[in-house]
């Protein structure tokens, strides 16, 4: 199979073992005589798939029985509304820590339901850092504190877990979930769309502490009510069955590949290869503060003007694809769990070559 090195921010690269397994199982899943795409979501076969997927996610992330895992649709974007609709309760304010593109999207939706207190922001540094906890001005009346654990667009990642006392901490982990161990007990709610580290588009995972269920605003559409989804075991309506099946295969692959510690080491190795090159380069540059650099999404710019198209062509000719930056600005290399280490090695080699030609 001729494969490229896919640096897409999402949907992103999948493990080849998972692709092979899907191909093998498509016509006839485990002797059922049908593919997962054709199964009833209420049948025994699919029930076993969703139960195993949940059990593996619990096991890998160490999620206790105090938390529910919901398999939803609507992407990270729908969580921008579901979080305030479900967590505000009788409160009118929520805290948001602003690290750029994805927080802006989350706040725009939250403002339809509550007052958004920007507790901290890195706007003054051009969103090139994660505001330190001592800069956070939390509102004591806030229903929850929301932050984006890894901003896929700006390439800023929190390498520490915030502490917010009794106020539930909500994290958008869309682009760094399962990339290293995390202490779920510190969070009220974690959400992530699946098309980066968990499989394919169409599925969104929500991990929510039990006591936060049942606070939905009366205007909340039933389909957007976490409690209903929890009560029905994510079967309030037809869940994204195929995406859940693929997530299950990805989780098995992750376990067989050494778990979260191995993923953490893999990301440290991959990202330092690329950052070390960027920091020594006369042509390329990453401007995120070193302590807050994302290990997953690495944005960079070219110093020389007019070379952008040539650079993309140079990379594509070497099988290095999807390096365009967010909204077409600059470049970005996204390296999810399934990226082989050969990917960043080839990337740096090709960038060095380009620098020799144009630097
Ligand atoms: N949050 C973050 C951090 C993301 O990277 C993305 C998608 N790139 C989203 C939310 C939105 O996810 P979706 O496109 O599935 O709605």
Give the three-state DSSP class for 142.
Answer: strand
pLDDT at 158 (0 to 100): 98
Catalytic residue among 29, 56, 102, 292: 102
CA-201 nearest atom, ligand 1: 15
What spacing in Å lies between the alpha carbon of 77 and ligand 1's midpoint? 6
pLDDT digits (tens, 9 = 90+) for 44-57: 999 999 999 999 99
* C-alpha 75 to ligand 1 mean position (Å): 7
Q: Which of 83, 58, 87, 61 lies closest to 72, judged by CA?
A: 83
Q: Which of 244, 252, 238 is nearest to 199 (CA)?
A: 244
Handedness of CA 281, 298, 185, 168 (dihedral sign): positive
Q: Which residues pair with 170 in a beta bridge?
A: 146, 189
Does residue 29 have an active-site annotation? Answer: no
Decide: helix, strand or coil at residue 145.
strand
List of E strands, 73-172: 93-98, 115-121, 142-148, 150-151, 156-157, 169-172
Give yes or no: 196 in active site.
Answer: yes
Which pLDDT band, with edges at 50, 70 and 90, does 331 fall under? very high
Which pLDDT tens digit goes with each residue over 111-147?
Answer: 999 999 999 999 999 999 999 999 999 999 999 999 9
pLDDT band (50, 70, 90) for residue 1: low
Inform me whether the pLDDT recorded for 6 exceeds 80.
yes
Count other C-beta atoms under 10 Å from residue 219's C-beta: 8
Q: In this predicted model, what pLDDT tens digit does every residue of 141-161 receive, in sequence order? A: 999 999 999 999 999 999 999
CA of 344 to the centre of ligand 1 (A): 23
- 3-state DSSP assignment of residue 192: strand
**Closest C-alpha to ligand 1, atom 10:** 76
Query: Which residue segments constitute the domains of the chain, with CATH numbers given?
Result: 16-256 (3.40.640.10), 259-358 (3.90.1150.10)
Q: Which ligand 1 atom is nearest residue 78's CA?
A: 16
Please confirm, yes or no, whether 102 is among the known catalytic residues. Answer: yes
Average pLDDT score over the chain: 97
How far does the centroid of ligand 1 lie from the alpha carbon of residue 306, in Å? 30
Q: Which of 100, 152, 240, 324 to mutate to test the pocket of ligand 1 (most atoms within 8 A of CB)?
A: 152
Q: Residues near 235 by Cβ (< 8 Å), separated by ≥ 6?
A: 41, 42
Selection from 40, 68, 358, 357 nearest residue 232 by Cα: 68
């Amino acid at each position: 199979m001729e494969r490229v090195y896919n640096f897409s921010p999402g949907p992103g690269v999948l493990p080849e073992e998972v692709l092979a397994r899907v191909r093998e199982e498509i016509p006839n899943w485990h002797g059922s005589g049908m593919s997962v795409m054709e199964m009833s979501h209420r049948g025994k076969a699919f029930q076993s798939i969703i139960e195993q997927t949940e059990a593996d996610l619990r096991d890998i992330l160490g999620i206790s029985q105090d938390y529910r895992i919901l398999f939803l649709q609507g992407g990270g974007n729908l969580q921008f509304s579901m979080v305030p609709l479900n967590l505000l309760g009788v409160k009118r304010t929520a805290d948001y820590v602003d690290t750029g593109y994805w927080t802006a999207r989350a706040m725009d939706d939250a403002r339809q339901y509550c007052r958004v207190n920007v507790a901290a922001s890195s706007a003054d540094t051009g969103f090139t850092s994660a505001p330190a906890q001592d800069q956070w001005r939390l509102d004591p009346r806030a229903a929850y504190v929301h932050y984006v654990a890894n901003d896929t667009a700006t390439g800023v990642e929190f390498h520490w877990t915030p502490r917010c006392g009794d106020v539930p901490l909500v994290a958008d982990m869309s682009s760094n979930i399962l990339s290293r161990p995390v202490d779920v007990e510190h969070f009220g709610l974690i959400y992530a769309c699946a098309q980066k580290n968990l499989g394919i588009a169409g599925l969104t995972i929500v991990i929510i502490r039990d006591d936060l269920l049942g606070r939905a605003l009366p205007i909340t559409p039933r389909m957007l009510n976490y409690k209903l989804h929890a009560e029905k075991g994510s079967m309030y309506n037809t869940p994204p069955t195929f995406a859940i099946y693929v997530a299950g295969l990805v989780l098995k692959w992750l376990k067989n590949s050494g778990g979260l510690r191995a993923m953490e080491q893999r990301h440290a190795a991959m990202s330092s290869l690329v950052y070390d090159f960027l920091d020594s380069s006369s042509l390329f540059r990453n401007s995120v503060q070193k302590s807050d650099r994302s290990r997953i999404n690495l944005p960079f710019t070219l110093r020389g003007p007019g070379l952008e198209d040539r650079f993309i062509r140079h990379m594509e000719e070497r099988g290095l694809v999807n390096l365009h930056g967010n909204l077409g600005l600059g470049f970005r290399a996204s390296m999810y769990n399934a990226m082989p280490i050969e990917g960043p090695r080839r990337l740096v080699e090709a960038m060095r070559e380009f620098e020799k030609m144009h630097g």
